[in-house]
């Protein structure tokens, strides 16, 4: 019995052994699977951890670098290479402008400035800006325009010429840029030191004004004409228009053709109204010029006054046709396209009125007239009839008024107060009355005035 129990126990033990080993094997497989899963998960986590901790180097330009980039963009825009808004980021537009600049200067057009190319560009920009009016005159006399200054500066740096005047074609207008450390002097002659028969110097700073006084006048040798009245003060159009505006408000509105009793006051009202429109139009155009501030635009526009001073002076002495012929010669010798000059003149006309610089305003108006903008003849007529920037010559003003009025009658778009077509009739009536004509006198030649005769008895 005892042996039988032992045999049964041994058999049971053998039967239990196989499942146990199989279970242990299965357990081992499970353990191995769990272990592999843990290892795989760890590998994945490690990989993910490596991905999230990978750092990308992003180069953020410092404030100094951005300022340098803005200077580059401003310089490119100034010289006619459109780089867009100067934001300090040299993107696609800036790189394209850099390539254009490099190709123009004969450098490899890589789109990336070398240190020399950058320094030359920036220094040329500052030199041009500091030159003031003389810079614009030099650009006007250069066939390549403002870009030509870069070539001129480049030739100077390479020993190609002592002054910028030697690098551009000689014209009757100033083309010399004074050094930055010296006062700006505009010389209307190729060489200031040459003993020309009639050298005339226009000097910007007050301390060098004696040069203009020492220049001999044509036909009088070294002797100067006597002047007992002093230099005198130019009239302020801005102040004048403020007074006219107050009177207009007091009167309850503008004078009309039907209510006009004072022709001179009616013309003054229309003069100041046209001035306001000219300022607004120029400011709208100047806001579209990128890379140049308002102060820089005003500085450059100051060059028009000295450049066209002879033509402006002729307005007080010669008929309209002769003055326009002189201005036409200036345009042909300027080297600038009519479209460039027209846009520039409209901006500078605004600057001239805004800064009360009648020389700039008149020069701009003359340019617009000769370029086909005949409606601006009204403004020049106002100047002559009222004596702002010119002598008071209502007789000569009549032809300028007529040019502006005829242009509108021929279909030209009115520039000043386009919503008031009745202005033309009012201006015509007032202009003729101011000259002693009828209310609607035709544009006939003025009759000769008889000299007074007195019989003196002995």
Inform me whether the pLDDT recorded for 193 exceeds 80. no
Distance CA 396, CA 152 (A): 42
pTM above 0.85, yes or no: no
Q: Write the pLDDT tens digit of every residue in 400-435.
A: 999 999 999 999 999 998 888 899 999 999 999 988
Q: 202 falls in which pLDDT band (50, 70, 90)?
A: very low
Hey, where are the domains in the chain? 63-191+198-208, 237-434
Distance CA 273, CA 187 (A): 36
**pLDDT score, position 441:** 42
**Hey, which of 34-38, 110-114, 152-156 has the most confident mean pLDDT?**
110-114
Inform me whether the pLDDT recorded for 311 exceeds 90. yes
Structure tokens of 255?
Answer: 């004078």
**What mean pLDDT do residues 366-384 have?**
95
Distance CA 64, CA 309 (A): 43
**pLDDT score, position 5:** 58
**Of 40-54, 128-142, 252-266, 303-317, where does mean pLDDT reach its minimum?**
40-54
Residue 344 Cα to chain centre, angstroms: 7
Q: 10 falls in which pLDDT band (50, 70, 90)?
A: low
Name the DSSP letter for residue 372.
Answer: T
Inform me whether the pLDDT recorded for 203 exceeds 60. no
**pLDDT score, position 390:** 94
Residue 349 Cα to chain centre, angstroms: 12
Inform me whether the pLDDT recorded for 58 exceeds 70. no
**pLDDT score, position 226:** 59
Q: 217 falls in which pLDDT band (50, 70, 90)?
A: very low
**pLDDT score, position 3:** 55
**What mean pLDDT do residues 30-49 have?**
45
**pLDDT score, position 194:** 42
Distance CA 335, CA 173 (A): 12
Distance CA 316, CA 313 (A): 6
Residue 369 Cα to chain centre, angstroms: 20
- Under 8 Å between Cβ of 366 and 322: no
Higher pLDDT, 243 or 337: 243
Distance CA 413, CA 416 (A): 9
**Residue 149 to residues 17, 145, 174: CA-CA distances in angstroms?**
104, 8, 14
Instruction: Give, to the nearest 10 degrees, the angle between helix 377-386 and helix 394-409.
Output: 160
The percentage of residues in the chain with a pLDDT greater than 70, rounded to a whole number, is 65
**What mean pLDDT do residues 191-205 have?**
40
**pLDDT score, position 85:** 86
Inform me whether the pLDDT recorded for 231 exceeds 80. no
**pLDDT score, position 438:** 54
Residue 167 Cα to chain centre, angstroms: 24
**pLDDT score, position 72:** 92
The percentage of residues in the chain with a pLDDT greater than 90, rounded to a whole number, is 38
Q: 87 falls in which pLDDT band (50, 70, 90)?
A: confident
Closest to 366 measured CA to CA, from 324, 425, 322, 409:
324
Q: 222 falls in which pLDDT band (50, 70, 90)?
A: very low
The most distant pair of C-alpha atoms in the chain lies apart, rounded to whole Å, by 194
Average pLDDT, the chain: 74
Which residues neighbour 23 within 8 Å (Cβ) at sequence distance 6 or greater?
Answer: none
**pLDDT score, position 12:** 54
Q: 256 falls in which pLDDT band (50, 70, 90)?
A: very high
Q: Write the pLDDT tens digit of every residue in 171-191.
A: 333 333 333 333 333 333 333
Higher pLDDT, 426 or 159: 426
Residue 229 Cα to chain centre, angstroms: 38
Higher pLDDT, 234 or 83: 83
**What mean pLDDT do residues 128-134 have?**
75
């Amino acid at each position: 019995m005892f042996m039988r129990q032992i045999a049964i126990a041994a058999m049971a033990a053998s039967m239990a052994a196989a499942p146990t080993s199989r279970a242990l094997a299965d357990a081992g497989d499970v353990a191995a699977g769990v272990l592999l899963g843990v290892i795989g998960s760890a590998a994945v986590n490690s990989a993910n951890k490596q991905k999230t901790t990978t750092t990308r180097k992003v180069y953020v330009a410092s404030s100094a670098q951005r300022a340098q980039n803005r200077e580059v963009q401003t310089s490119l825009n100034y010289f006619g290479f459109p780089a867009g808004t100067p934001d300090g980021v040299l993107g696609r537009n800036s790189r394209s402008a850099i390539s254009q600049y490099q190709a123009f200067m004969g450098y490899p057009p890589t789109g990336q400035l070398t240190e020399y190319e950058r320094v030359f560009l920036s220094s040329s920009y500052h030199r041009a800006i500091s030159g003031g009016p003389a810079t614009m005159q030099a650009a006007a006399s250069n066939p390549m325009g403002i870009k030509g200054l870069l070539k001129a500066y480049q030739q100077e740096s390479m020993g190609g010429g002592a002054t910028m005047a030697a690098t551009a074609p000689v014209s009757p207008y100033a083309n010399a840029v004074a050094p930055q450390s010296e006062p700006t002097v505009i010389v209307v002659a190729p060489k200031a030191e040459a003993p020309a028969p009639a050298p005339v110097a226009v000097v910007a700073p007050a301390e060098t004004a004696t040069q203009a006084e020492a220049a001999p006048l044509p036909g009088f040798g070294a002797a100067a004409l006597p002047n007992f009245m002093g230099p005198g003060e130019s009239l302020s159009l801005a102040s004048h228009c403020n007074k006219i505006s107050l009177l207009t408000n007091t009167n309850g509105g503008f004078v009309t053709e039907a209510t006009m009793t004072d022709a001179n006051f009616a013309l003054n009202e229309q003069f100041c109204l046209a001035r306001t429109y000219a300022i607004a139009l120029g400011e709208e155009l100047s806001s579209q010029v990128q890379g140049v501030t308002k102060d820089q635009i005003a500085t450059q526009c100051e060059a028009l006054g000295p450049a066209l001073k002879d033509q402006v002076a002729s307005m007080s002495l010669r008929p309209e046709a002769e003055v326009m012929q002189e201005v036409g010669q200036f345009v042909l010798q300027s080297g600038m396209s009519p479209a460039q000059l027209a846009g520039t003149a409209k901006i500078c006309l605004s600057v001239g009125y805004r800064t009360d610089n009648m020389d700039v305003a008149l020069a701009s108006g003359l340019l617009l007239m000769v370029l086909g903008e005949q409606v601006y003849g009204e403004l020049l007529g106002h100047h002559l009839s009222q004596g702002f920037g010119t002598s008071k010559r209502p007789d000569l003003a009549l032809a300028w008024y007529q040019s502006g009025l005829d242009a509108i009658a021929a279909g030209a778009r009115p520039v000043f107060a386009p919503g008031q077509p009745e202005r033309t009739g009012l201006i015509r009536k007032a202009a003729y009355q101011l000259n002693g004509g009828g209310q609607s006198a035709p544009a006939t030649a003025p009759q000769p005035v008889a000299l007074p005769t007195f019989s003196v008895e002995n």
